[in-house]
Amino acid sequence: MKLRTFSGGVHPPDNKQWSAHLPIEDCPLPDQLIVPMSQHIGAPAAPCVAVGQQVAKGEVIGEAKGFVSVPIHAPTSGEVVAVEARLHPMGTALPAVVIKADGEDRWRDDLASAEPGDLTPEEIIDKVHQAGVVGLGGAAFPAHVKMSPPPEKPINTLIFNGVECEPYLTADHRMMLEETERILQGVALLQYVFGAERVVIGIEANKPDAIAHLEQHCTGTPVEVVALQVKYPQGAEKQLIAAVTGREVPSGGLPMDIGVAVHNVSTAAAVTDAVVQGRPLIERVCTVTGPAIREPKNLKIRIGTPLSHLVAVCGGLVEDPGKIILGGPMMGVAQLGFDAPAIRGTSGLLLLRQQDVERRPEGPCIRCARCVEGCPMKLLPTTIAAYARRDLFEATEEYRAMDCIECGCCSYSCPALIPLVQAIRYGKAAIMAKKRNA
Amino acid sequence: MIAAILSLGCIGLVAAFALGLAAKKFAVEVVPRELAALEVLPGANCGACGYPGCAGFAKAVIEGKAELNQCPPGGAEVVLKLSRILGVEATAAEPEIAVVICQGDNRKAQLKYQYLGLDDCTAAQRVAGGPKACPGGCLGLGSCQRACPFDAIEMTDDGLAVISREKCTGCRKCIAVCPRNVIRMTPLASSVHVLCNSHDKGALVRKYCQIGCIGCHICKKTVPDAYQVETFLATVVYGHDEEAGEAIAKCPTQCIRDFQDGYPEGSRLAPAGSEKTHAA
């Protein structure tokens, strides 16, 4: 059978064999947790605890500022030892609350569990907001915002993203195998909130065990499990929608414009916790992998766990890493060291050796158009990048730079090693800066 | 042969006639004084005046919308010439030039990481706040050099921008592109500057830079009038040059420089012998 997919894309080696077979392990608690106030798209939370204060696990330590923002919760019980700017995975120091764990790991005692059948959609959305649930695929967009589309844009198709197309990462894969019940309960809750007619779980075909497992659990339910061709970026929102529904999100538009909403499978599990148990989002599954780590693992980690702790839990380093990446190798963020903490969007910690990241110098464009063929947004990366590098931002915008999803297929496919996506990002930043100033 | 000559000749005649008519009909009226004003402007079209090019500024000046001293590259000489054309009195603005207030090149200042991206300071600044450990130091990727219409900026081999005091006209194009705000406008007459842009505490500055200001106040104690220290960074109070120079030898990190004694280390620019006015 020909598997469904989108146009364009590339085929990087998936390298999931390091950790795909390893069950999720609970990561031991670190002594100190650094919880940044900015872990999501939107306004950062405002710290609402003072140094010296005792907090219980799940207590709010940062309040949401505005609608597109979520509260931040204490990942364990302990004492607040600092409220200050700390190194954030983005590479700069940003406000954070530092908690010294007391080892008791005591939940706050007012967790409100609920019977999902008794709740109205609004109550569910409110619970999701209060629990600080964000998209766990990597971008960390607040889930309650996605769950509140305007009434004139009804959602008829709800897609759950179990694609995990980034090489190396296996966190969602393990979640689908081991936390099936939580995921499917979340799927049902979200279907109820959206009132969607069609519910699909999309999974890349390199996870046959997950596909079979979920299909088995979904028989007799309205949930469809769809196997998708193995291709990067199959798990990008717009590409997943194209593969599953054949619909295209208009330029500058959102999935809700064509009646679709996409959530990650792990987000569905977090929604279950938030609604049924009243538990906030304080932990997630993170794949620690790569050739430079001794024992790759799928770890269930607390938000705010320092990366150095994750490395220690995984048996330390084989050699000095050439690159430390939070997330996958295609779209992840390179790190300055192991001082930053893992945050809500941290789906993986990838450690590459020096020889894996060696670079040759950039050559001239030979007009081979591999970037054009690879672009899943049907853009002309070489043209956009050339304009951006010459600071011709009007032309950059005219060639639809703002539609770029920064997946990196162009840079990956360029035989001349031109930093295409980097140049496009530079152009996009300049265009956005100009719009802000206008 | 003859047919060809005749037919082409006729086409030529008709076209010449049409062109002649068009030139009369669509003639653009030019104010002679505008042309005269344009003549005296530097012609770099740098945009420092805020108008689109020298022609735009000439028009604005003649129409009375712009001040005569709004052309920094032109300096006093242009103000004088424009005032003759317009027949009014005008005084030149105090001439200013841009100075990079940093001496921490890649050898003297620490890097947080190895930057492999686009050769552009703004792009580098987006990656974890730039590769320099110092939050204010020159990134040395030459965005200002490329923006300079007067070829006045030199990039040293170790990645530090140095602005020539002779060539800089004060157009501020470099300031607009610098993502770290490390270029400042200073009076041309003042040649002594504190070359540091870090407001961090001294202990921290010492960790990442050999030649940064640690906010020790020694300069201010030596010459109280000529220096001020704000949030761990000293600056020169311009207009006290003679005295300001006295503190140079006292500075423990040698971050005060008199440009008359030479440019920062690594620069191939020759020190300015005497104070020239820029239009000269």
- Could you tell me if A306 and A338 are in contact, meaning their C-beta atoms sit under 8 angstroms apart? yes
Q: Above 60 in pLDDT, residue B275?
A: no
Residues within 8 A of A (CB atoms), B 119-138 only: 120, 122-123, 126-129
- Beta strand B161-163 with B153-155 is antiparallel
The alpha-carbon gap from A42 to the nearest alpha carbon of chain B, in Å, equals: 18
Residue B118 is nearest to which of A91, A334, A422, comparing CB atoms? A422
- Could you tell me if B57 and B49 are in contact, meaning their C-beta atoms sit under 8 angstroms apart? yes
The alpha-carbon gap from B117 to the nearest alpha carbon of chain A, in Å, equals: 7
Q: CB B128 to CB A429 under 8 A? A: no
The alpha-carbon gap from B192 to the nearest alpha carbon of chain A, in Å, equals: 33
A386 → chain B, closest CA residue: B118
For position A186, what pLDDT does the model report? 95
Residue of B45, B46, B51, B43 whose CA lies nearest to B67: B51
Q: Above 80 in pLDDT, residue B92?
A: no
For position A352, what pLDDT does the model report? 95
For position B35, what pLDDT does the model report? 87
Q: Above 50 in pLDDT, residue B182?
A: yes
Q: CB A422 to CB B117 under 8 A? A: yes
Give, to the nearest 10 degrees, the angle between helix B53-62 and helix B75-86. 40
Average of per-residue pLDDT across B130-159: 93
For position A154, what pLDDT does the model report? 92
A360 → chain B, closest CA residue: B116
- Could you tell me if A233 and A165 are in contact, meaning their C-beta atoms sit under 8 angstroms apart? yes
Residue of B270, B69, B52, B43 whose CA lies nearest to B167: B270
For position B279, what pLDDT does the model report? 41
pLDDT in single tens digits along all 438 residues of chain A: 578 999 999 999 999 999 999 999 999 999 999 999 999 999 999 999 999 999 999 999 999 998 999 999 999 999 999 999 999 999 889 999 999 999 999 999 888 888 888 899 999 999 999 999 999 988 899 999 999 999 999 999 999 999 999 999 999 999 999 999 999 999 999 999 999 999 999 999 999 999 999 999 999 899 999 999 999 999 999 999 999 999 999 999 999 999 999 999 999 999 999 999 999 999 999 999 999 999 999 999 999 999 999 999 999 999 999 999 999 999 999 999 999 999 999 999 999 999 998 888 899 999 999 999 999 999 999 999 999 999 899 999 999 999 999 999 999 999 999 999 999 999 999 999 899 887
Alpha carbon dihedral B72, B74, B80, B81, in 10-degree steps, equals: -140
- Give A76-99 pLDDT, tens digit per residue: 999 999 999 999 999 889 999 999
The alpha-carbon gap from B52 to the nearest alpha carbon of chain A, in Å, equals: 17
- Could you tell me if A326 and A339 are in contact, meaning their C-beta atoms sit under 8 angstroms apart? no
Alpha carbon distance A203, A363 (integer Å): 37
- Those residues of chain A whose CB sits closer than 8 Å to some CB in chain B are 90-92, 334, 336, 359, 389, 419, 422-423, 425-426, 429-430
Average of per-residue pLDDT across B37-59: 88
Q: Rg for chain B (alpha carbons), in Å?
A: 25
* Interface mutation target, options B110, B113, B143, chain A, most CBs of A under 10 Å: B113
Alpha carbon distance B182, B189 (integer Å): 20
Confidence of residue B98 (pLDDT cuts 50, 70, 90): very high
- The first and second tokens of residue A238, run together, are 């717009």
Q: Could you write out the DSSP letters of every residue in B197-227?
A: ---S-HHHHHHHBSS------HHHHH-TTTE
- Could you tell me if A223 and A190 are in contact, meaning their C-beta atoms sit under 8 angstroms apart? no
ipTM score of the complex?
A: 0.81
* Interface mutation target, options B119, B127, B200, chain A, most CBs of A under 10 Å: B127
Q: Which residues of B touch A426 (CB under 8 A)?
A: 118, 120, 122-123, 126
Alpha carbon distance A38, A11 (integer Å): 33
Flag whether residue B204 sits within 8 Å of chain A, measured between CB atoms: no
For position A134, what pLDDT does the model report? 95
Q: CB B123 to CB A426 under 8 A? A: yes
Q: Which residues of A touch B122 (CB under 8 A)?
A: 426, 429-430
Q: Which residues of A touch B129 (CB under 8 A)?
A: 91-92
Give, to the nearest 10 degrees, the angle between helix A180-194 and helix A121-130. 130
The alpha-carbon gap from B122 to the nearest alpha carbon of chain A, in Å, equals: 8
For position A34, what pLDDT does the model report? 96
Q: CB A334 to CB B120 under 8 A? A: no
For position A137, what pLDDT does the model report? 86
Element housing A428 (H / E): helix A420-437
Q: Above 80 in pLDDT, residue B83?
A: yes
Q: CB A336 to CB B112 under 8 A? A: yes
The distance in angstroms from the start CA to the end CA of chain A is: 52
Residue of A413, A339, A344, A340 whose CA lies nearest to A376: A413
B127 → chain A, closest CA residue: A91
Query: CB contacts < 8 Å between A and B, how many?
Result: 33
For position B272, what pLDDT does the model report? 60
Q: Above 60 in pLDDT, residue B278?
A: no
The residue ranking higher by pLDDT, B239 or A80, is: A80
The alpha-carbon gap from A427 to the nearest alpha carbon of chain B, in Å, equals: 9
Is residue B96 exposed (0-12), middle (13-18) or buried (19+ Cβ within 10 Å)?
A: buried
Residue of A105, A49, A100 whose CA lies nearest to A72: A49
Alpha carbon distance A122, A131 (integer Å): 14
Alpha carbon distance A281, A274 (integer Å): 7
Alpha carbon distance A274, B256 (integer Å): 59
Q: CB A426 to CB B112 under 8 A? A: no
The mean of the pLDDT values for chain B is 89
Q: Above 60 in pLDDT, residue B280?
A: no
Flag whether residue B111 sits within 8 Å of chain A, measured between CB atoms: no
For position B274, what pLDDT does the model report? 47
